[in-house]
């Protein structure tokens, strides 16, 4: 039973990460976004992955679970956070999408729409009937275009099967999927807004790290690799011979603090140095290829909350780094102030999704 009177005007951003499902509800109030609600669901061993020996193990990757379990997880968040809104923008993880920037002659938008699929074939490594194409013109020429006017186009493709799967999942959870978006595009909206300067976003999640170069508000180059917070926890557990739970606790408490008793430091250093190395390599590749300087480094993702992490990263990288703040343009209750930094870093993709116009 639903009377429109009680229906929330809010919009949900749903980010199904490898280690957790994150939901944010934003409402637009007088031109500004307001945080209405949020919730997170982590799959733990107890209810779905009991190993033979009785020892529970962490789910390796939520996206590999059957749809039914993901639906159940989403419903749990909705229930616990008492979320009533049903309009959803969801993200597709970068590893299952394709994105690039191409240049094409520009006469008119209609003309471009006609010729784009032919051009796209050259760049997209799978048959076009297996993907859903999306594109936007980065800068529409301000004056009357002529035959030699070229424009940059952001081109994205998502496997059709994946889009159908997300539709089924959201429907199963009683929600309306209004748009599906690339994870990195949501991240860019939440962190950069209208800022057009060349930036690198380093997103360190549970299972993976992505390094995304953004210029004029669009992803230009991205590099994903399979090391994230979970590998770091495992490394601490191994070298100190403690449980994963204990290692996770130490990671969050001690982080990279330069103190004598910080025995976990060395267990993490080589993995973090690798993240720095991958970041530097991606920046250099871009700067050399485009002959353009990256002016800013932003860190996001759960792991960046670790004590002294940003400091260590900055020292190793040899460039100034900043912590990205997805809630910078969002109004939230003052009671959340002490935890907003952590919230912002974990929910950054979900915030960007909920900000999308539908």
CA dihedral 108, 110, 112, 117 (to 10 degrees): 180
225-264: which residues touch ligand ATP (CB under 6 A)? 228-230, 248, 251-252
Residue 134 burial by Cβ neighbours in a 10 Å radius (0-12, 13-18, 19+): middle
Contact range with ligand ATP by CB under 6 A, out of 27-35, 117-125, 126-134, 301-309 = 301-309
Quote the CA–CA distance of 119 and 100 in Å, as a whole number.
12
Kindly tell me the burial class for residue 343, based on how many C-beta atoms sit within 10 Å of its own C-beta (0-12, 13-18, 19 or more): buried
Contact, 342 vs 318, CB < 8 A? no
Contact range with ligand ATP by CB under 6 A, out of 2-10, 194-202, 295-303, 319-327: 295-303
Cα 49 from Cα 189, distance rounded (Å): 36
Which range, of 44-52, 83-91, 119-127, 300-308, touches ligand ATP by CB under 6 A?
Answer: 300-308
343 contacts which partner out of ligand ATP, Mg ion, none, CB within 5 to 8 A by kind?
none
For residue 280, the minimal CB distance to ligand ATP (Å) is 21
Is the separation of the CB atoms in 221 and 200 below 8 Å? no
We find the least distance from the C-beta atom of residue 349 to Mg ion, in angstroms, to be: 6
207's contact among ligand ATP, Mg ion, none, with CB below 5 to 8 A by partner kind, is: ligand ATP
Q: Does 352 bind ligand ATP (CB under 6 A)?
A: no
For residues 105 and 150, is the Cβ–Cβ distance under 8 A? yes
The answer to whether residues 157 and 124 touch, using CB atoms and an 8 Å cutoff, is yes
269 binds, among ligand ATP, Mg ion, none (CB under 5 to 8 A by kind): none
Instruction: Answer yes or no whether residue 205 interacts with Mg ion by CB under 5 A.
Output: yes
Q: Which is nearer to Mg ion, 10 or 205 (CB)?
A: 205
Q: Could you say whether residue 184 binds ligand ATP (CB under 6 A)?
A: no
Angle between helices 229-240 and 244-254 (to 10 degrees): 110
- The mark string for 304-323 relative to ligand ATP (x by CB under 6 A, - otherwise) is -xx-----------------
> What are the residues binding Mg ion (CB under 5 A)?
17, 205
> What are the residues binding ligand ATP (CB under 6 A)?
17-20, 205-208, 228-230, 248, 251-252, 301-303, 305-306, 342, 346
């Amino acid at each position: 039973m639903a009377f429109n009177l009680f229906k929330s005007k809010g919009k949900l951003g749903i980010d199904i990460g490898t280690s957790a499902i994150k939901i944010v509800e934003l409402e637009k109030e007088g031109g500004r976004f307001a945080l209405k609600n949020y919730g997170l669901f982590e799959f733990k061993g107890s209810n779905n992955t009991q190993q033979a020996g009785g020892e529970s193990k962490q789910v390796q990757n939520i996206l590999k679970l059957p749809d039914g379990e993901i639906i159940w997880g989403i419903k749990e968040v909705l229930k616990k956070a008492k979320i009533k809104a049903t309009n959803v923008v969801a993200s597709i993880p970068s590893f299952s999408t394709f994105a690039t920037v191409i240049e094409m002659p520009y006469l008119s938008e209609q003309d471009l729409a006609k010729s784009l699929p032919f051009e796209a074939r050259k760049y997209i490594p799978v048959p076009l009937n297996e993907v859903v194409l999306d594109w936007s013109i980065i800068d529409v020429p301000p004056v009357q275009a002529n035959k030699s006017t070229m424009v940059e186009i952001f081109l994205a493709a998502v496997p059709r099967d994946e889009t159908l799967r997300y539709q089924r999942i959201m429907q199963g959870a009683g929600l309306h999927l209004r748009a599906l978006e690339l994870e990195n595009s949501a991240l860019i909206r939440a962190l950069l807004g209208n800022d057009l300067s060349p930036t690198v976003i380093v997103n360190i999640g549970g299972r993976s790290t992505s390094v995304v170069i953004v210029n004029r508000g669009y992803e230009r180059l991205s590099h994903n690799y399979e090391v994230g917070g979970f590998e770091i926890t495992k490394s601490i557990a191994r070298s100190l011979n403690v449980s994963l739970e204990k290692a996770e606790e130490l990671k969050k408490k001690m982080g990279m603090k330069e103190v004598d008793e910080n025995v976990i430091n060395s267990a993490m250093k080589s993995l973090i140095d690798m993240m720095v190395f991958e970041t530097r390599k991606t920046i250099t590749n871009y700067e050399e290829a485009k002959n353009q300087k990256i002016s800013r480094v932003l860190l996001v993702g759960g792991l960046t909350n670790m004590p002294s992490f940003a400091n260590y990263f900055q020292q190793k990288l040899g460039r100034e780094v900043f912590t990205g703040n997805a809630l910078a343009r969002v109004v939230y209750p003052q009671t959340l102030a002490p935890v907003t930094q952590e919230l912002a870093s974990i929910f950054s993709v979900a915030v960007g999704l909920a900000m999308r116009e539908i």
